[in-house]
């Protein structure tokens, strides 16, 4: 633990720092979102599928570093509030980018708001689960409630539960990677049965994030302000994609 904390502060270890891995996630996310806008819905052509495969790197990296954030933040309350504020801004950006109605309960049950809403809920759930003042039945009730609240978000309830389990398995990297695969499989299974079989298969490529995260050295890296870069970049790139969507297709949805 002491060595890991030192690596967090200096970034002077082998492997990849959190900053480097987050940059990989940003690049993959941008490719994926741009593909949705240029090639609406899940088009059955190999190069569109290949571009979305690259995008599968992003979500597990987000889950992992939400769990890491819960471990190292000085204030879970401030961390959660920051994420909820971020989720509120990102909701408008996400809806504009992909032509989704602002009311998350209108127009469908999946992909009605960004993954940030589910991730913010995940941080609160971690706080509840690790609290000794909360009874077991209350923790179970919170799990059910938060999964329901997160259901309309990108990655749905999976983006609530995966970070929680990754947090609970802190320091056990193989178990954390297994968490990613297991929760992704559950998400893919629902899509395969009820929505879109090709999209379900696509989700399983999140396993590509495993070798990347296994290289994580526990260090933050030398780049300062990386945390704020993502908070700015995420909604900003979505707003830009919204204008591109209007230019290419008009005011129509481009993601199911």
Distance CA 92, CA 85 (A): 12
In a domain, 165, yes or no: yes
What pLDDT, in 10s, does the model give residues 130-151?
999 999 999 999 999 999 999 9
pTM equals: 0.92
In a domain, 254, yes or no: no
What pLDDT, in 10s, does the model give residues 202-238?
999 999 999 999 999 999 888 777 778 888 999 999 9
Number of C-alpha atoms within 13 angstroms, CB side, residue 126? 32
- Tell me the sheet residues that pair with 153: 113
Asked whether the beta carbons of 207 and 5 are under 8 A apart, the reply is no
In a domain, 163, yes or no: yes
Q: How far is CA 89 from the centre of its chain?
A: 16
In a domain, 256, yes or no: no
> How many domains does the chain contain in total?
1
Range of the domain at 161: 2-249
What pLDDT, in 10s, does the model give residues 147-165?
999 999 999 999 999 999 9
Q: Is 193 exposed, middle or buried (0-12, 13-18, 19+ CB in 10 A)?
A: exposed
pLDDT at 178: 98
In a domain, 21, yes or no: yes
Asked whether the beta carbons of 33 and 238 are under 8 A apart, the reply is yes
Number of C-alpha atoms within 13 angstroms, CB side, residue 91? 19
pLDDT category at 125 given cuts 50, 70, 90 is very high
In a domain, 134, yes or no: yes
């Amino acid at each position: 633990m002491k060595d890991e904390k030192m690596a967090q502060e200096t970034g002077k270890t082998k492997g990849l720092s959190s900053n480097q891995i987050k940059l990989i996630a940003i690049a993959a996310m941008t490719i994926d979102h741009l593909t949705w806008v240029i090639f609406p819905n899940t088009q059955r052509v190999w190069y569109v599928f290949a571009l979305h495969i690259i995008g599968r790197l992003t979500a597990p990296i987000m889950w992992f570093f939400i769990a890491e954030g819960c471990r190292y933040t000085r204030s879970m309350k401030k961390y959660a509030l920051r994420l909820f504020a971020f989720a509120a801004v990102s909701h408008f950006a996400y809806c504009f980018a992909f032509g989704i109605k602002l009311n998350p309960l209108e127009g469908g049950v999946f992909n009605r708001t960004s993954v940030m809403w589910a991730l913010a809920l995940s941080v609160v759930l971690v706080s509840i689960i690790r609290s000794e003042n909360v009874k077991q039945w209350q923790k179970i009730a919170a799990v059910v409630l938060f999964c329901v609240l997160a259901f309309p978000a990108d990655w749905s309830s999976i983006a609530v539960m995966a970070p929680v389990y990754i947090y609970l398995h802190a320091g056990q990297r193989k178990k954390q990677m297994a968490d990613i695969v297991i929760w992704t499989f559950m998400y893919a299974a629902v899509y395969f049965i009820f929505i879109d079989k090709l999209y379900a298969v696509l989700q399983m490529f999140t396993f590509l994030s495993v070798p990347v995260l296994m290289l994580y050295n526990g260090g933050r890296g030398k780049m300062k302000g990386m945390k704020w870069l993502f908070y700015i970049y995420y909604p900003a790139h979505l707003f830009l994609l919204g204008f591109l969507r209007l230019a290419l297709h008009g005011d129509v949805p481009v993601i199911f």
